[in-house]
Amino acid sequence: MNMNVVPIKEKKVVNYKSCFDVIGPIMIGPSSSHTAGALAIGTVANKLFQGLPKKVVVKYYESFAETHKGHGTDYAIISGIIGFSTDDSRVPDAIKIAESNGIDITFIEEVDDSPAGHPNTVDVYLEDESRSIRTMGISVGGGLIEVKHIEIEGFSLNLQGPLPIIIAISERDDLEMILRRIFKQYNVEINNFNSLEKNGKYLYEFALESQLPSDVQKELEIFSNTANIIIL
């Protein structure tokens, strides 16, 4: 998989919706930006890969490249990749736990500026014998992140804005309209939408205003046999 990405030029904005966005989540420290945020980016990689990889490559930029060892970023991002939550007592031991499960881990400190235009940028690549994914994310403070780029199932997509994001991949060309009807039924507001088509497969990306209600998540489970629907 190509580890290069087209630089994303954008304005830097603050997306805080409550005081908890500033304070940060309940977490194993020391830093909400460099620990909880990194863990959240690892969690996105985990959701995209949908299992444990055999190989992990983590590329850090700018502030992350300079401080990842002292701020716990390494064990935090691996924690997310292997499915730990921010308050899991195993977080500090995540690297040892992952390696004991046969996962090969490489950390790379990049000297170039962040392709995403943010000092807290991390580029994550996961693979096993049959598949691979890549995601680039930024930690914007208080444990919040934005996902800027993903590569999955042959698709490459640049994203804008904060989570939540729904990624749906299917051979059904009618899936977009079906999902839109479901979102409308439950008053789920769509902030942004992208679609890609490649070799008879479709990728739909919905950036949402708020987290999906549990009823909507149950509705989406109906399509598990015909679509890969990932809630980030």
Q: The domain that contains 45 carries what CATH number?
A: 3.30.1330.90
The residue from 83, 117, 152 where one domain ends is: 152
Q: Would residue 9 count as lying in a domain?
A: no
CATH number, domain at 232?
3.30.70.260
Question: Could you say which of 152, 182, 208 is where a domain stops?
Answer: 152
Residues 116 and 170 in one domain: no
Choose the final residue of a domain: 124, 152, 180: 152
What pLDDT does residue 13 have?
39
Domain match, 45 and 111 both: yes
* 143 & 47 share domain: yes
166 and 147 together in one domain: no
Residues 6+ apart with CB under 8 A from 19: none
Three-state secondary structure call for residue 39? helix
CA-CA distance, 103 to 46, in Å (whole number)? 13
What digits encode the pLDDT tens for the residues 143-152? 899 999 999 9
My answer on whether 144 and 168 are in the same domain is no
Q: 188, exposed or middle or buried, with CB in 10 Å at 0-12, 13-18, 19+?
A: buried
Q: Examine the domain organization and report whether 132 and 105 are in the same domain.
A: yes
pLDDT of residue 26: 45
Q: What is the DSSP string of 50-104?
A: TS--SEEEEEEEHHHHHHTTTTTHHHHHHHHHTT--TT-TTGGGHHHHHHHTT-E
Domain contains 55: yes
CA 95/CA 68 separation, integer angstroms: 14
4 is a domain residue: no
Residue 211 host element (H or E): none
- Is residue 232 in some structural domain? yes
Look at residue 136 and tell me if it is in a domain. yes
Clarify whether residues 174 and 232 are in a common domain.
yes
Instruction: Quote the number of domains for the chain.
Output: 2
Quote the pLDDT of residue 31. Answer: 56
The answer to whether residue 6 sits within a structural domain is: no
| Same domain assignment for residues 27 and 94 | yes
| Pairwise CA distance, residues 135 & 78, whole Å | 14
> How far apart, in whole angstroms, are the C-alpha atoms of residue 47 and residue 107?
20
Domain around 77: 19-152
Residue 27 and residue 130 in one domain: yes
Total residue count of the chain as it appears in this document: 232
pTM of the entire structure? 0.85
Query: In the chain, which stretches have pLDDT less than 70?
Result: 1-34
- Within-domain flag for 10: no
